[in-house]
A = this chain, B = another copy of it.
Amino acid sequence: MRYKLTLEYDGSRFHGFQIQDDFPTIQGELEKALIRLTFLQIRVYGAGRTDQGVHAFGQVAHIDLDKEWEPLKLKFGLNHYLRKTKISVLNIEKVEDTFHARFGAKEKQYLYRIINRQAPLTLDFGRAWHVGYVLDADIMHQGAQMLVGHHDFSSFRDSDCQAKSPFKTITKASVTRQGEEIRIIFEGKSFLHHQVRNMVGTLKLLGHGMFSLKDIQTILEAKDRKKAGPTAPPEGLYLMWIDYT
Interface, chain A (partner B; CB < 8 A): 8-10, 55, 57, 75, 79, 82-83, 86-91, 117-123, 125, 127
Closest to A76 in B: B118
- The answer to whether B75 touches A90, judged by C-beta atoms less than 8 angstroms apart, is no
- Which residue of the partner chain, among B10, B89, B123, B127, contacts A125 with CB atoms under 8 Å? B10
- Which residue of the partner chain, among B79, B83, B119, contacts A90 with CB atoms under 8 Å? B119
- Alpha-carbon separation in the docked complex, A121 to B86 (Å): 8
- The answer to whether B122 touches A87, judged by C-beta atoms less than 8 angstroms apart, is yes
Assembly stoichiometry (copies):
2
- Which residue of the partner chain, among B8, B9, B89, B125, contacts A86 with CB atoms under 8 Å? B125
A10 / chain B contacts, CB cutoff of 8 Å: 122-123, 125
- The answer to whether B122 touches A86, judged by C-beta atoms less than 8 angstroms apart, is yes
- Alpha-carbon separation in the docked complex, A223 to B38 (Å): 53
- Which residue of the partner chain, among B8, B86, B118, B119, contacts A119 with CB atoms under 8 Å? B8
A55 / chain B contacts, CB cutoff of 8 Å: 123
